[in-house]
Structure 1
Amino acid sequence: MSVQSLARSTPQLHSVEGVLGFTQRSFEPVFSYAYDPPPGVPRTNIVPDERRIRIEDARPLAGDLSLDVEGFAVVRSPTAVRDFWDEAQTLGHPEAAELVKAATGASRVVVYDHTLRRRIDGADDRSAEAPRQPATRAHVDQTVRSGPKRVRDLMGDAAEGLLKKRSAIINVWRPIDRPARDWPLALGDARTFTPDDLIPSELRFPHRVGETYGVAYSPAQRWFYIPDLQPNEALLIKCWDSDAGVARFAPHTGFEDPTTPPGTPPRESIEFRTLAFFD
């Protein structure tokens, strides 16, 4: 079954115009450092490409969005976590695992990481003095190479057996305390991206090298957002899937919504990263 066979038409929707950060195509390997690089080495060689594009309101489609078609979905997900800044590991991880299980039918889900974000004007995303900031460049967290490697790194001796069946990496993204009206998330419809749009990029850490995709702009791409995503809702985002017959990658990024009212509190959010395994 191909992704094209899963396609369905969608109506004309209300939209906003927002500036998204894309990555220019390059003939050289692309990289970024997640820490201070060695002397004389740039932090990144990514050449940014900002574009003002139409981002459609997916609220009218919310009940039909699918991880295996568009690559993302929105679900109602009340949480028992009172303070994600304190309880993300102990309560948020098992809660996110159960959410992905229920939404996908996976037989096993492992939450292996989470990132908390609180937007602060002018803050550096990787500064030790400030929390992580909203992403400003369209990306996918994994690639065709790094997805299986993540399974092997995390699942040890069980990895090869798990990789013989379907596995996927799915993020659970949700706002904290208030709706995500400030700097919401833009999500790309996986059906409208080609492999040439996805640019492998090394993400260099002190003790390991990961790989993500940057996204090159194409006018064929279609972008959506969920306005005012509520704290009792969550976005599920496909970051890699071993099944080539469904949506495998959903590009995403934060963006400044020009319709956000002045004085709106800065966005706080959390994303859980999960491995999902299927029988």
Structure 2
Amino acid sequence: MASSVQERLYGHNSAAAADVVAPMTFIVPQDEKPVIYSAAYTGKIPEFGFATEEKHVLVADMRSTAGSFSLDSEGFALRAAPTGVQDLYDDGEVESVYFAEIRSLLKTEFGASEVAIFDATRRSDGGEGARNKDGNRGAATRIHVDYTARSGPQRARDVFGAEEFERLLASGKRIVQVNVWRPVKGPVQRSPLALADAASIRPEHLVATDQVFPDRVGEIYHLAHDAEQRWYYVPEMTRDEVLLIKGWDSLEDGRAQYTPHSAFQLPTQTGDTPARESIEVRTYVVI
């Protein structure tokens, strides 16, 4: 018999689908390469060297179909994954307990030989954002992919070391960048995460954007709008659930490589709706 978490996860007991039409923020393509000057670089607030536009899109409830979604097809997956961590704001508990849970989850998911965790970020759309070691973070409201064809492998070289990265690839290993996104509190009723079906994204709509930091220049993708793009979210996501989101894949054989995503506002949310709080863990999975 399915557990209550599994029933909730895959919508076995749900009523009508909670599809919504909501505004989302897309980049406006331009001749020059877009650039973001980070807060660490400016010493105050980030500066953006590009224009954006809002488009209303259908964001479908994925609970009823979540069991058929995969990282290699759509670029994301929903999983039941209760955590034993009592306080996801406790850095020590996150690093000692939560990271071990994430490694175990991803090794089981992929049959992986290694999972390298290199970042954890908390976000909130309430007040000043969520607390992190490097400052507070709000919800990310521009549609983006965390890595690109250039920065995905470069960040892996940084994480593993250039020699080990090349050795892994030369030995036939596959390396996949995966984010694990979890609500700190649930159910999420404000600013949930919307994810694009990677199969519906045309490559020319992924716009490489420089991110300037004091010591380096990174690169992400923003997304330009196209009417054929398909979007999904998980209504009232709980603390016992995670979204696995692919950001880059060393294999280039037609499977999903980049998954655009963004926070978005629900038509039902108000200023009194509890703020969304989440934690995302960035990893490289070696298969």
TM-score normalised to structure 1 length: 0.88
Q: Distance in 2 between the 1:215 and 1:127 partners?
A: 27
Q: Distance in 1 between the 2:175 and 2:268 partners?
A: 38
Q: What stretches of structure 1 move > 4 A for 4+ residues in a row?
A: 36-39, 123-130
* CA displacement 1:99-140 (0-9 Å, x = unmatched): 11111222211111010112224x489999972111100000
Q: Distance in 1 between the 2:256 and 2:111 partners?
A: 16
1:270 is matched with: 279
Q: Distance in 1 between the 2:105 and 2:262 partners?
A: 22
1:152 to 157, 163, 182: 157
1:243 counterpart letter in structure 2: L
Partner SS for 1:84: coil
1:98 is matched with: 104
* CA displacement 1:122-174 (0-9 Å, x = unmatched): x4899999721111000000001111101111111311112332111000000
* Alpha carbons 1:124, 1:130 under 8 Å: kept: no
1:220 is matched with: 228
Task: Write the mapping of 1:154-193 to structure 2, written as runs, cut at 5 A.
Answer: 154-156=159-161, 157-164=163-170, 165-193=173-201
1:210 to 206, 218, 222: 218
Distance 1:129 1:203, change over 3 A: closer
CA RMSD, aligned part only? 2.3
1:145 counterpart letter in structure 2: R
Farther-moved stretch of structure 1 (97-106 vs 205-214): 97-106
Farther-moved stretch of structure 1 (201-210 vs 230-239): 201-210
Q: Distance in 2 between the 1:110 and 1:124 partners?
A: 27
* CA displacement 1:67-98 (0-9 Å, x = unmatched): 01000000000101111110222222221121
1:17 aligns with 2:21: yes
Q: Distance in 2 between the 1:163 and 1:217 partners?
A: 34
Partner SS for 2:278: strand
Q: Distance in 2 between the 1:273 and 1:173 partners?
A: 9
2:104 counterpart letter in structure 1: E
* CA displacement 1:184-224 (0-9 Å, x = unmatched): 00000000001101000111111111110000000010000
2:19 counterpart letter in structure 1: S
2:50 to 27, 41, 46: 46
1:88 counterpart letter in structure 2: V
Q: Distance in 1 between the 2:226 and 2:119 partners?
A: 31
* Alpha carbons 2:176, 2:285 under 8 Å: kept: yes
2:98 counterpart letter in structure 1: G
* Alpha carbons 1:35, 1:206 under 8 Å: kept: no
* Alpha carbons 1:172, 1:237 under 8 Å: kept: yes
Structure 1 unaligned segments of length 5 or more: list them.
Answer: 1-11
Distance 1:220 1:125, change over 3 A: farther
TM-score normalised to structure 2 length: 0.86
Question: When the two structures are aligned, how many residues end up with a matched partner?
Answer: 264
